Amino acid sequence: MTVSIDSNLEELGRQRPEWEPWLAVIQEVLGETADTKWDAFVPARAGTQEGKIPLLTGAAITLESSALRRWTERLIRTASQSGTAKMATLKSAVRVADVSTLFKAALCQDDARLQEIAVSFGADPEAFHAVAALLPVPLLHACNRRLRGSVARSWTEGYCAVCGAWPAFAEVRGIERARYFRCGRCASEWQVHCLVCPYCGMTDHNELVSLVPEKAGNSRVIDACKRCLGYVKTFTVLQGSPAAKVMLDDLASVDLDVAALESGYRRPQGAGYALDVTLVDKAAPSGRLFPWRR
């Protein structure tokens, strides 16, 4: 990780010492995300994006089963040793027999399947879901690095053009005040040309509100929709955050999430666009598909 990311993690730790267990997990993810070995697993694309379909939809992703297992076990082990009671329940999940099923469920944001896997291990479902959701982040960052040139310039959907996730927050940049959504999973960005609700597409200013929590300042607001009751955190910045810092920016602004929830607004569960990917084991001579059992 860069000095800047390390210093941001340290600053978060000083501001929120109670977050130390979770920050240890985030540090593990950010360290793995910086490893360029994941670039080799990004699926190839021919041509540019079409329609409203994220780039990874229907992709065949080749992964090394041994590398996937090492990463999965390391992340879950780090979480289980964090010292919190809920995270400790993940110890039974460190030796995952079918890492491909877990990875695919996390990649496709299949909340129901992740719930089933958590129950099968006797792990706390909330803690398990939070950690499992981070498993595909290194691959997704690699996909953003390699595929962003294929994103359609006309993309203005509410969900990510690469992985289909809802935005983690919006950035209003520079003196032009150009508005961009940022993905919390792959860190991609896409410009939207007006104030719009990403969840229901509302653009009527009478149905959109901006909330400015006490002590937040005008540079950090909550843009909310009165029709679907969704919200997006919005930051006024000179320039967009580096990809490696998006996750930390999202975490550091949790006070805005709390304020939005207290005001009756919510973020939708699951994906903005459901992916359907195929995982292929690079280690298998025959190109055997990873098992996917329900």
- For the segment 17-23, the average pLDDT, to the nearest whole number, is 92
Convert the pLDDT of each residue in 37-69 to its tens digit.
999 999 987 567 778 999 999 999 999 999 999
Q: Is residue 174 scored above 60 in pLDDT?
A: yes
CB atoms within 10 A of CB 4: 12
**What does pLDDT average to over the chain?**
91
Q: Is residue 284 scored above 80 in pLDDT?
A: no
43 SS3 class: coil
Convert the pLDDT of each residue in 232-281 to its tens digit.
999 999 999 999 999 999 999 999 999 999 999 999 999 999 998 999 98
N-terminal to C-terminal alpha carbon distance within the chain = 37
Banded model confidence at residue 3, pLDDT cuts 50, 70, 90 = low
Q: Which pLDDT belongs to residue 45? A: 76
Give the separation between CA 30 and CA 3, rounded to whole angstroms: 12
- Which of 42, 25, 37 is closest to 129 using CA atoms? 25
Beta pairing, strands 189-192 & 167-173? unpaired
**Which residue would you say has higher pLDDT here, 294 or 236?**
236
**Residues shown for the chain:** 294
**Which residue would you say has higher pLDDT here, 156 or 216?**
156
Query: Please, where are the H alpha helices in the chain?
Result: 3-15, 20-33, 65-80, 85-88, 99-107, 111-121, 125-132, 137-147, 246-252, 254-262
Q: Which pLDDT belongs to residue 87? A: 94
Query: Please, where are the H alpha helices in 16-153?
Result: 20-33, 65-80, 85-88, 99-107, 111-121, 125-132, 137-147
DSSP classification of residue 165: P
Dihedral sign from CA coordinates of 196, 200, 203, 205: negative
**Which residue would you say has higher pLDDT here, 230 or 5?**
230
Convert the pLDDT of each residue in 26-36 to its tens digit.
999 999 999 99
- For the segment 138-143, the average pLDDT, to the nearest whole number, is 98
Q: Which pLDDT belongs to residue 5? A: 80
DSSP classification of residue 192: E
pTM, two decimals, is: 0.92
Q: Which pLDDT belongs to residue 23? A: 94
Give the separation between CA 100 and CA 102, rounded to whole angstroms: 5
Q: Is residue 158 scored above 60 in pLDDT?
A: yes
- For the segment 277-290, the average pLDDT, to the nearest whole number, is 67
- Which of 148, 186, 208, 152 is closest to 33 using CA atoms? 186
Q: Which residue has the tokens 């030796």?
A: 95
Q: Which pLDDT belongs to residue 180? A: 97
Q: Which pLDDT belongs to residue 216? A: 64
63 SS3 class: strand
Region of poorest pLDDT, from 24-28, 218-222, 224-228: 218-222
Q: Which pLDDT belongs to residue 292? A: 39
Q: Which pLDDT belongs to residue 110? A: 95
